[in-house]
Amino acid sequence: MADAAAPFIVANPGSGTTLLRMMLDAHSQLAIPPETHFIPDVIQRAREIRRAADRKPAPEELTAVIAGNRRWGDFGLDEAELRERMAGPEGSTNARRALRAFYSLYAEKHGKPRWGDKTPDYLLSINRIGRTLPEARFVHLVRDGRDVALSRRRWRARAGGEERSVADWAGQWKRWILDGRDQGQRAGSYIEVHYEDLVTETEAALRRVCEHCELGFETAMLDYHERAEGRLEEMGRALPAEDGKGGREAGHRQAKHALTTAPPQESKIGEWRSEMSEADRQAFEAEAGDLLAELGYPVGEAVGS
């Protein structure tokens, strides 16, 4: 169903998007793959071909972009089948047809008629994606930036990444939210959902998401954790390094999302109160306290209070 509304979960990384992905993916009608990351590249490649050669892309040209992405092995799809599906009547394709071919093929593989996406970084590409896929319904998951910073620093340390200051994380959190909000409001198919509401008022939050995505609510979405372990098996492979991005071991990838195998945990809300130093709290709020307050998060409360 290429024209059915398709949820696109976007956010600052570390905001709980895998949790929402598992909830939506538990719906009988909807399949959401692991993070894709290739949409901007597909759109850009199609544009380059049109400008340089004054023709539509051939299916193999855009298939190469998707299958050449380091996450291709996560999806369990056949490259030849994808290439065949994205070909139009005239033998060529375009970015819209190519992307719909990928998602519909993935959904069919999982016995579902509808599809969506969960790639946090697409928060910065809402306008571009919305123009290419008008069925996209963007769901911006917003989480207290101090908890986001803790999550990012924790996982960067486990992956051996370079340390960044809390002020750096605060600046990114604020820029991304403001950029995504600006793009989303112009796109017109955009809502914001707080991670904290998803955890504490799960059904109400999911009903709101479903309404936005023209999807009937199903109680199975509340039991997402019963099937999450099986869904995480897609990431049971090492992610190779690419374009300056370090590789990731399979165990690390799955462990990062292990909390989705359990019901929502309220203990993950406000972790900064016990795990962030007072100096780091002040540094974060100096950089992004205005946005924290605007979003309804407490500001100026000392750690441990």
d(CA 202, CA 198): 5
Instruction: Indicate the number of domains in the chain.
Output: 1
Render 3-29 in DSSP notation, one character per residue.
TS-EEEEEESTTSSHHHHHHHHHTSTT
pLDDT along the chain (305 residues), means of 10: 85 96 98 98 97 93 97 97 94 96 98 98 98 98 97 77 87 98 95 98 98 98 96 87 74 83 95 96 98 97 86
Q: What is the pLDDT of residue 1?
A: 42
47 contacts: CB under 8 Å, gap ≥ 6: 95
Do residues 21 and 32 make contact, with C-beta atoms less than 8 angstroms apart? yes
Calculate the CA 128 to chain-centre distance: 15
Q: Which structural domain, as residue segments, surrounds residue 160?
A: 6-32+116-294
Q: What is the pLDDT of residue 78?
A: 97
The single-letter code of the amino acid at 172 is: Q
d(CA 188, CA 242): 34
Q: Considering the domain boundaries, does residue 90 fall inside one?
A: no
Q: Considering the domain boundaries, does residue 128 fall inside one?
A: yes
Q: Considering the domain boundaries, does residue 177 fall inside one?
A: yes
Q: Considering the domain boundaries, does residue 83 fall inside one?
A: no
Q: What is the pLDDT of residue 2?
A: 46
Q: Considering the domain boundaries, does residue 239 fall inside one?
A: yes
Do residues 21 and 118 make contact, with C-beta atoms less than 8 angstroms apart? yes
Do residues 99 and 65 make contact, with C-beta atoms less than 8 angstroms apart? no
> What's the half-sphere exposure (Cβ side, CA atoms, 13 Å) at 213?
27
CATH number at residue 217: 3.40.50.300
Do residues 38 and 125 make contact, with C-beta atoms less than 8 angstroms apart? no
Q: What is the pLDDT of residue 263?
A: 96
Q: Considering the domain boundaries, does residue 55 fall inside one?
A: no
Distances in Å between the alpha carbon of 302 and those of 149, 154, 285, 288, 289? 17, 21, 11, 16, 13
Q: Considering the domain boundaries, does residue 1 fall inside one?
A: no
Calculate the CA 214 to chain-centre distance: 19
Q: Considering the domain boundaries, does residue 271 fall inside one?
A: yes
The single-letter code of the amino acid at 99 is: L
